[in-house]
């Protein structure tokens, strides 16, 4: 089945709209079943017209946060005329607040991202997650607040980015029988490490879809079920050595897994053994 297409439009970064849309999508489909395209910093109607045109061609859904009322009304009208499903995430809230507070909104995009200390910490964390993604630099495990560990296609990268937006520096480490785990991984506090487990059947389906998206034969060794069992057995051995908590992500959306991780790291005196029992 072809992936569903979703456009997220904003006259700022588009982070708020993307999070809301993803939260909604998680109620209907797995993350690998859709493609989400963010269109940030919109300043003119031509971009909006083009977005609606492409949405019409692909049967896409559009979610948007536009504080500029002219752009907002244009997009809504254009979507109605072209019969494209479109939802205004910010508009109804602004209008209700305007009536309640009896004040006009500032109509300035991105005010929530003013250059304050929190903003800079978030940007630093995002850059950290990119730099130390997928084990590309093993030194990241010693500098990270959280280290995510898992085989390929266990949502390590989107989880790293999600947690980075919460100002956590996250490194993620891929596990495979042919690749030695970074030595530093076994010398850092185990509570910094979190394993991401997935069922063989679920992983098999995800990898087949990934190969299909890339135009490759889904019978490749990457999606071979025996190969997957070997990888997961190796993963379990590494987790036993690390003695760290493990989360089963087989049927969890990224946001759900991230919330579990946040609840864990925010407990000042959590027990690894207790967390293992709970997970």
Annotated binding site for ADP: 150-157
- Give buried/exposed letters for 80-108 (b at 16+ CB in 10 A, else e): eeeebebbbbbbeebeeeeeeeeeeeeee
Q: Are 148 and 121 in contact (CB under 8 A)?
A: no
Phi, psi of 30 (to 5 degrees): -75, 160
Please give the Cα distance from 59 to 185 (Å, whole number).
45
- Give buried/exposed letters for 233-263 (b at 16+ CB in 10 A, else e): ebbeebbeebebbbbebeebbbbebbebbee
> Which residues make Cβ contacts (< 8 Å) with residue 146, sequence separation at least 6?
163, 168, 169, 170, 171, 192, 194, 261, 265
9 strand-pairing partners: 39, 64
**What is the C-alpha radius of gyration for the chain, rounded to an integer number of angstroms?**
21
Phi, psi of 64 (to 5 degrees): -145, 155
Please give the Cα distance from 57 to 7 (Å, whole number).
13
Q: Provide the token pair at 23.
A: 């939260």
């Amino acid at each position: 089945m072809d992936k569903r297409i979703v456009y997220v439009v904003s006259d700022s970064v588009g982070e708020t709209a993307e999070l809301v849309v993803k939260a909604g999508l998680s109620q209907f489909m797995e993350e690998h079943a859709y493609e989400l395209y963010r269109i940030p910093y919109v300043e003119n109607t031509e971009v909006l017209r083009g977005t609606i045109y492409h949405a019409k061609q692909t049967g896409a859904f559009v979610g948007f946060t536009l504080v500029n009322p002219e752009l907002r009304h244009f997009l809504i009208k254009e979507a109605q005329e072209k019969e494209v499903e479109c939802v205004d995430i910010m508009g109804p809230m602004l209008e209700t607040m305007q009536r309640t507070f009896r004040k006009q909104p500032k109509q300035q995009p991105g005010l929530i991202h003013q250059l304050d200390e929190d903003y800079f910490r978030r940007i630093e964390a995002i850059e950290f997650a990119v730099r130390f993604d997928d084990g590309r630099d093993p030194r990241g495990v010693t500098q990270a607040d959280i280290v995510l560990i898992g085989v390929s296609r266990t949502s390590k990268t989107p989880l790293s980015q999600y947690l980075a937006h919460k100002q956590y520096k996250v490194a993620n480490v891929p596990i495979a029988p042919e690749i030695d785990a970074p030595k530093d991984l076994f010398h850092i506090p185990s509570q910094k490490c979190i394993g991401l487990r997935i069922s063989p059947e679920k992983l098999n389906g995800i990898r087949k879809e990934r190969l299909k998206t890339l135009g490759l034969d889904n019978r490749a060794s990457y999606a071979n079920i025996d190969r997957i069992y070997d990888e997961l057995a190796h993963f379990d051995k590494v987790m036993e050595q690390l003695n760290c908590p493990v989360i089963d992500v087989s049927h969890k959306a990224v946001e759900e897994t991230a919330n579990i991780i946040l609840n864990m790291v925010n407990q000042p005196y959590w027990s690894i053994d207790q967390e293992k029992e709970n997970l």
